[in-house]
């Protein structure tokens, strides 16, 4: 699918992967609709990209983001929140908000935007998940569960939707991409309540994830790992979960 001229809705566009993705898509000629909670930061991204601002709190079930966005050719679901600590110390409100922002809001956005894509015969859906949703992470059970939900949601949609023809370039059909980043150098870790302190793996810049997202849309890629070596632990976890758990306990928290 050509990004030049496509109308793209990016959630979580005020910072991190979402902001980097907005800049990358703008450079490729996309027409952007930018959503986020931090209006000042969102205004800065909009000024740099020429995007349309649609501030929204995705934890609010009454948010009418899909209606305000209008026609959308590509949805890039970047918005997400984290929290780190034992589950028994997590408040019910925190859990509910994380599930709403990370998973429920993007399911509902897809449900509302997809009919237009199908009617026009083309579109693309991108869900930014996490390696946590593939292998699990100690003391981030709810976050990992929401990202696992996104991955399975994307996979299930892929079976349901008409595939893209023409190798993804101006072809008909609706593409679906799941993006699986590892550690990314964004404010996410500070906001989750515990900074990232490990020396390995080294965080990758959000611009690297943004480039992967843009290329995945253009080439209709179903799944993208950033960095690519994350496929190894993901495949090991799937093929030999017992071995993976032994290694995870020996070499540190997953």
Active site residues: 143
**172 C-beta neighbours (distance < 10 Å), count:** 13
Q: At 28, phi and psi to the nearest 5?
A: -95, 10
Rounded to 10 degrees, what is the CA torsion of 185, 187, 193, 195?
30
Kindly provide the b/e burial profile for residues 173-185, where b requires at least 16 CB atoms within 10 angstroms of the residue's own CB: bbbbbbbbbbbbe
CA distances from 136 to 131, 133, 140, 166, 202 (A): 8, 6, 8, 36, 19
How far apart CA 98 and CA 207 sit, in angstroms, is 24
Q: Looking at 12-48, which runs of residues are DSSP E strands?
A: 31-34
Tokens linked to 244: 């993976």
How far apart CA 118 and CA 60 sit, in angstroms, is 27
């Amino acid at each position: 699918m050509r990004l030049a001229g496509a109308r793209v809705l990016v959630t979580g566009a005020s910072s991190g992967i979402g902001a980097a993705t907005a800049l990358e898509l703008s450079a490729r000629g996309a027409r952007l609709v930018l959503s986020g909670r931090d209006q000042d930061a969102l205004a800065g991204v909009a000024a740099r990209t020429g995007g349309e601002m649609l501030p929204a709190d995705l934890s609010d079930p009454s948010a009418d983001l899909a209606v305000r966005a209008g026609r959308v050719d590509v949805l890039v679901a970047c918005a997400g929140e984290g929290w780190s600590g034992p589950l028994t110390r997590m408040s019910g409100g925190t859990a509910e908000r994380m599930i709403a922002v990370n998973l429920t809001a993007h399911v509902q956005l897809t449900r509302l935007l997809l009919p237009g894509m199908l009617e026009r015969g083309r579109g693309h859906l991108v869900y930014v998940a996490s390696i946590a949703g593939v292998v699990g992470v100690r003391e981030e059970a709810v976050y990992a569960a929401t990202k696992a939900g996104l991955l399975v949601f994307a996979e299930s949609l892929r079976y349901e939707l008409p595939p893209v023809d023409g190798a993804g370039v101006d072809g008909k059909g609706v593409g679906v991409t799941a993006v699986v980043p590892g550690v990314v150098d964004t404010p996410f870790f500070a906001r989750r309540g515990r900074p990232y302190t490990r020396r390995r793996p080294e965080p990758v810049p959000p611009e690297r994830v943004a480039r992967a997202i843009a290329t995945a849309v253009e080439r209709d890629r179903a799944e993208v790992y950033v960095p690519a070596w994350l496929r190894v632990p993901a495949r090991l976890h799937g093929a030999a979960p017992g071995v993976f758990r032994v290694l995870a306990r020996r070499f540190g928290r997953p």
